[in-house]
């Protein structure tokens, strides 16, 4: 085996350990919160030594920041979704209903709600991290949704003076009930039928204001 092969193999092993630590840290932080998690807990779940954890991450705060910000990559699929609403007057209700149902379904998944609670719980200790997560995650979705509504307004399908405010109204109509229930009770309280009903009602309210 050449030196280059050995180096490549070592890099691959290191990358696998890094990923295992990230996955273990995500699970433990979600279950126990930031204060209740130790690097020992993470090392044990990742099946590596604590020294290996510290080799990849200088301290618990840096590991927490990385696992939180890594989740913002998951919004890319949501951005594609909210950008892809056809400018078709005949099917506007149907298209917005489809968007609303997938939007609320994605953002009320148990892990997403757990992450939201985790970030809010530590917002005072890590305000820059919470701000970065919001900016790189949900704010990107809102900006894309605003651009979509502006495009539909240009096509005279909607009447929108402030696209970003309209995007916030749309999201609020969909998320207010399920997210608040989950935040105050500690876990999702809705059924799929609930999400269907809230999505349809949210779109009706939105179109009553913006059609």
- Mean pLDDT in the chain? 92
Write down the pLDDT at residue 178: 95
The dotted CATH code for 3-57 is 1.10.10.60
- pLDDT value, residue 10: 74
CATH 1.10.357.10 domain extents, the chain: 69-210
Q: Percentage of the chain surpassing pLDDT 70? A: 97
Pick the CATH number of 69-210 from 1.10.220.70, 1.10.357.10, 3.30.470.30, 2.30.130.10: 1.10.357.10
The confidence score (pLDDT) of residue 14 equals: 85
Say what the pLDDT of residue 4 is: 66
pLDDT value of position 92 = 96
Structure confidence at residue 1 (pLDDT)? 61
| pLDDT tens-digit readout, 48-65 | 999 999 999 999 999 999
| Region(s) of the chain under CATH 1.10.10.60 | 3-57
What average pLDDT does this structure show over 41-45? 95
3-state SS, one letter per residue, for the chain: CCHHHHHHHHHHHHHHHHHHHHHHHHHHHHHHCCCCCCHHHHHHHHCCCHHHHHHHCCCHHHHHHHHHHHHHHHHHHHHHHHHCCCCCHHHHHHHHHHHHHHHHHHHCCHHHHHHHHHHHHCCCCCHHHHHHHHHHCHHHHHHHHHHHHHHHHHCCCCCCCCHHHHHHHHHHHHHHHHHHHHHHHCCCCCCHHHHHHHHHHHHHHHHHHHC
pLDDT for res 2: 65
What's the average model confidence in pLDDT over 112-120? Answer: 90
3 pLDDT exceeds 80?
A: no
pTM: 0.85
Of all residues in the chain, the percent with pLDDT exceeding 90 is 76
Average pLDDT over residues 102-120: 91
Q: What is the pLDDT of residues 138-179, one digit of tens each?
A: 999 999 999 999 999 999 999 999 999 999 999 999 999 999
Dump pLDDT digits (tens) for 143-154: 999 999 999 999
């Amino acid at each position: 085996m050449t030196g280059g092969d050995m180096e490549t193999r070592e890099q691959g092993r290191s990358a696998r350990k890094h990923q295992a630590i990230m996955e273990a840290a995500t699970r433990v932080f979600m279950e126990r919160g930031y204060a209740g998690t130790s690097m020992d807990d993470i090392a044990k779940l990742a099946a590596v030594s604590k020294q290996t954890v510290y080799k990849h991450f200088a301290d618990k705060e840096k590991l927490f920041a990385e696992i939180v910000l890594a989740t913002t990559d998951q919004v890319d699929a949501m951005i594609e979704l909210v950008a892809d609403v056809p400018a078709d007057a005949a099917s506007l209700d149907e298209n917005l209903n489809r968007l609303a149902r997938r939007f609320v379904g994605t953002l009320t998944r148990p892990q997403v709600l757990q992450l939201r609670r985790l970030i809010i719980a530590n917002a005072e200790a890590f305000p820059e991290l919470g701000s970065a997560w919001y900016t790189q995650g949900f704010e990107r979705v809102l900006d894309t949704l605003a651009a979509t509504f502006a495009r539909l307004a240009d096509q005279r399908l909607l009447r929108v003076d402030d696209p970003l405010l309209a995007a916030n109204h749309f999201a609020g109509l969909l998320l207010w009930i399920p997210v608040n229930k989950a935040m105050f009770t500690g876990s999702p309280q809705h059924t799929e039928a609930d999400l269907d009903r809230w999505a349809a009602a949210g779109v009706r309210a939105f179109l009553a204001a913006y059609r």
